[in-house]
Amino acid sequence: MDDIVIYARSLKEHEIKFNKLMQRLRTANLKLQPDKCEFLRHEVAYLGHIIGADGVKPDPNKIKSITEFPRPKNVKNIKQFLGLAGYYRRFIPQFSKTAKPLTDLLKKNNTFDWQQRQTEAFNVLRFSLCSEPVLQYPDFSKPFILTTDASGYAIGGVLSQGQIGKDLPIAYTSRVLNSAEQNYSTIEKECLAIVYCTNHFRPYLYGRIFTIITDHKPLVWLHSIKDPSSRLWKWKTKLAEYEYVIQYKKGSLNNNADALSRNPPTDYVLPLTFAANRVGESSNNATSHYECEPSTSAPNNDIIDPPTEFAPPSPPPGRTNVTIEEYSSDDEFNDDDRTSIDLEEINNQYEEILDLNEERRNTDQILITESRDSLLKQSDNHVIFIHVNGTPFDNGAKEYQEANLLPNYENLTFERVNIKTIKSRTLISIPIRLNNHSRLEPQTLKNCIRSLLDALTELELTTFSISKTDYFDDLPWQHIIGQIHEYLRELPICITICKNLVQTPPVERREALIIENHSSAHGGHKGVAKTYNRLRPHYYWNTMKKDIQTFIQKCRQCQLKKLTRIKTKQPMVITDTPGAAFDKVSLDIVGPLPITNSGNQYILTMQDLLTKYSVAVPLRDATSLSIANALTNNFICVYGAPKAILTDQGSKRKRLG
């Protein structure tokens, strides 16, 4: 803590305290930076609060997200605001009475008619949320809680302290997503919310263990992400400097952060653009889509539903389908016609479609990641698909066959998994087709995935890898992984999809690749690790790291201009305690010092490590001969020869032995 606050009731008392502080700082040899000091102020900002004559109040900058909460425009906005306020209702006097004008608009048969009394109730609740005792002073002796959430267009978070569920808020934050971030998958948006909020509240969280509360269960597996090319890996690395524990909280209970993420400050303009991601069109990132938007086909259906990429999600029971009309921009519409379109209603319909699977998503425990590597490069359990006769069906099985690792199967059962152990990993083979002439039936795929689910549950596996195959007969890969997500969604498991994009270059091309990534203009003559990491996402061969190391050791530019990091000193180890006086003696040289009248410039210090008895001998120079003579004449001849001599292996003492 490098901030100091002096408070006093009078100028005289302030002067006395200030003088005491200066004396303490002078004693400790500490200095103050004048341009960062504030003197004789009636109020100052300190640790997120304004400290003044009237007491402590919240810093307006910390509660900007709440004061700029937009006025509700529909029933859903009211529910979100009341969810935020109701989470802390025990600290707001007469909450129900104050909120009644807002709750009246939630009644089934009432129309949404916002009047003055609703405005007054809304403003009173906003004022209550931003005043004591709701916003608490941070207690740095207690752990912090960071609750985050993300919606389709914004992220938000609340910093609080206390028992989870009864925690008291300290500060709020939220922001809208830019156009690129709105295309992120749900798990990426939820992870971005964590990264943004930890950065925002860094002064409170850095160096302390804190808890992150999220309503997206797959983020509990954040520490298990292995693919270094993914966006989640980059954010996981950013969070590595913090000490935190991630806990899951059901979305329906996460009202405090949820309302902030769905109602960001209005000084950001959120464009209403449906064409970029219109319902019914394919997504740009199919696999990421299935991480968070599971297929809505029921497990018991006999016909496989089309991929969720190509069809809008089915509504839950009790809700009718909602469609968004695509308004044309023909000349028949003038400017007045365009402004008459009910954009608010369109936006509400769009939000409803985004939220169709939200409750279902909150129960997902599955985490799906991607890797550029091939299946055999993954030190993991593997799942492959084969014919009943044991021949390969998908790319993973073909890879096993090319490496001569495909087992000799006997007595395979159609649609029932076969489990073998190869090189300390579990290989799950699924006979999905009878022969090369048959076609994959929809029900067969479902039966195979059910059998996989049973095997994973019985073996208690928490991870497996599968090779991406563009088509299973007529079914695209997006649909296959969607069905896997549908059946395994409640299983706590991490699935790695191997895209097999890493090539094994021919021997004659390998040196050229190393030259391109090390010696070229963009290579920059980086070291072994950085050159390897640059090549690894695209190429791999067994002796790759060794070849890179050999090449760099022979690189002329590196040998001429780079430092050689060779350890010339002994590693630090705990020394033993001698059994008798003068058994073990330590030596060291002090100098060069100003030359004395006798011509001495160095001091040889000799100390017994048991009694700490010390001898200092002046020397004209620090050569090994002078040191040996001084040791012999002033120590060994007086106290006897020690059993061991300890030095720091300085250049002048290396030749003593």
Give the CATH number of the domain where residue 632 resides.
Answer: 3.30.420.10
> Does residue 385 sit in the same domain as residue 454?
yes
The pLDDT of residue 656 is above 80: no
What is the pLDDT, as a whole number, of residue 521?
Answer: 78
Find the range with the poorest average confidence among 12-26, 173-187, 621-635.
173-187
The pLDDT of residue 29 is above 80: yes
What is the pLDDT, as a whole number, of residue 290?
Answer: 35
Which pair of tokens denotes residue 99? 């909120």
The pLDDT of residue 482 is above 50: yes
**Structural domain contains residue 304:** no
Q: Could you give the CA distance from residue 136 to residue 160 in angstroms, rounded to a whole number?
A: 8
Of the candidates 129, 139, 148, 4, the residue with the CA atom closest to the CA atom of residue 67: 129
The segment with the largest mean pLDDT, out of 16-25, 179-188, 254-263, is: 16-25
> Does residue 483 sit in the same domain as residue 520?
no
CATH of the domain at 411: 3.40.220.10
> Does residue 483 sit in the same domain as residue 536?
no
The SS3 assignment for 476 reads strand
Task: State yes or no: cis peptide before 492, omega within 30 of 0.
Answer: no
Decide: 262 and 74 in contact? Cβ < 8 Å: no
> Does residue 209 sit in the same domain as residue 154?
yes
Q: Where in the sequence is the domain holding 151, given as residue range(s)?
A: 144-262
Instruction: Pick 495 or 654 by higher pLDDT.
Output: 495
> Does residue 474 sit in the same domain as residue 391?
yes
What percentage of the chain reaches a pLDDT higher than 90?
A: 1
What is the pLDDT, as a whole number, of residue 16?
Answer: 92
**Mean pLDDT (whole number) for 643-653:** 71
**Structural domain contains residue 139:** no
| Counted domains in the chain | 6
**Structural domain contains residue 354:** no
Instruction: Pick 314 or 264 by higher pLDDT.
Output: 264
**Structural domain contains residue 639:** yes
Find the range with the poorest average confidence among 96-110, 311-325, 621-635.
311-325
What percentage of the chain reaches a pLDDT higher than 70?
A: 70
Find the range with the poorest average confidence among 38-52, 57-71, 196-210, 222-236.
57-71
> What region does 599 belong to: left with phi over 0, alpha with psi -120 to 50, or beta?
left
Confidence grade of residue 20 (pLDDT, cut at 50, 70, 90) = very high
**Structural domain contains residue 214:** yes
> Does residue 185 sit in the same domain as residue 92?
no
**Structural domain contains residue 285:** no
> Does residue 256 sit in the same domain as residue 379?
no
What is the pLDDT, as a whole number, of residue 262?
Answer: 56
Q: Could you give the CA distance from residue 419 to residue 426 in angstroms, rounded to a whole number?
A: 7
> Does residue 551 sit in the same domain as residue 592?
no
Decide: 469 and 477 in contact? Cβ < 8 Å: yes
The pLDDT of residue 427 is above 80: yes
The pLDDT of residue 396 is above 60: yes
What is the pLDDT, as a whole number, of residue 281?
Answer: 37
If one counts every other C-beta atom within 10 angstroms of the C-beta of residue 586, the result is 17
> Does residue 408 sit in the same domain as residue 486?
yes
Decide: 528 and 545 in contact? Cβ < 8 Å: yes
Q: Could you give the CA distance from residue 329 to residue 333 in angstroms, rounded to a whole number?
A: 7
Task: From 467, 498, 529, give the residue that closes a domain.
Answer: 498
**Structural domain contains residue 290:** no
Decide: 541 and 506 in contact? Cβ < 8 Å: no
> Does residue 482 sit in the same domain as residue 400?
yes
pTM of the model: 0.37
Task: From 204, 230, 262, give the residue that closes a domain.
Answer: 262
If one counts every other C-beta atom within 10 angstroms of the C-beta of residue 585, the result is 25
Instruction: Pick 185 or 220 by higher pLDDT.
Output: 185
The segment with the largest mean pLDDT, out of 160-169, 248-257, 637-646, is: 637-646
Q: Could you give the CA distance from residue 627 to residue 636 in angstroms, rounded to a whole number?
A: 12
Helix and strand element counts for the chain (H, E) = 22, 20
Which pair of tokens denotes residue 51? 């400290």
CATH of the domain at 120: 3.30.70.270
Please write the tens of the pLDDT for every residue from 568-584: 666 677 767 788 888 88
**How do strand 49-52 and strand 55-58 relate by DSSP bridges?**
antiparallel
**Mean pLDDT (whole number) for 160-187:** 79
Confidence grade of residue 51 (pLDDT, cut at 50, 70, 90) = confident
The dihedral over CA atoms of 488, 491, 494, 498, expressed in degrees to the nearest 10, equals -20
What is the pLDDT, as a whole number, of residue 220?
Answer: 66
The total number of residues shown for the chain amounts to 657
Q: Could you give the CA distance from residue 245 to residue 541 in angstroms, rounded to a whole number?
A: 38
The pLDDT of residue 303 is above 50: no
Which pair of tokens denotes residue 363? 């129960």
What is the pLDDT, as a whole number, of residue 302?
Answer: 36
The pLDDT of residue 522 is above 60: yes
The pLDDT of residue 221 is above 80: no
The pLDDT of residue 107 is above 60: yes
Mean pLDDT score of the chain: 74
Q: How many CA atoms lie within 13 A of 551 on its CB side?
A: 23
**Mean pLDDT (whole number) for 642-652:** 74
Decide: 339 and 291 in contact? Cβ < 8 Å: no
Decide: 143 and 208 in contact? Cβ < 8 Å: yes
Which pair of tokens denotes residue 249? 């909280």
The pLDDT of residue 321 is above 50: no
**Structural domain contains residue 595:** yes
> Does residue 459 sit in the same domain as residue 529?
no
> Does residue 85 sit in the same domain as residue 122?
yes
What is the pLDDT, as a whole number, of residue 312?
Answer: 37
Q: Where are the alpha helices (DSSP H) in 504-623?
A: 507-518, 528-535, 544-553, 556-561
Please write the tens of the pLDDT for every residue from 528-545: 888 888 888 888 888 888
**Mean pLDDT (whole number) for 11-39:** 87
Query: Which helix or strand (DSSP H or E) is residue 488 part of?
Result: helix 477-488
Q: Could you give the CA distance from residue 427 to residue 357 in angstroms, rounded to a whole number?
A: 33
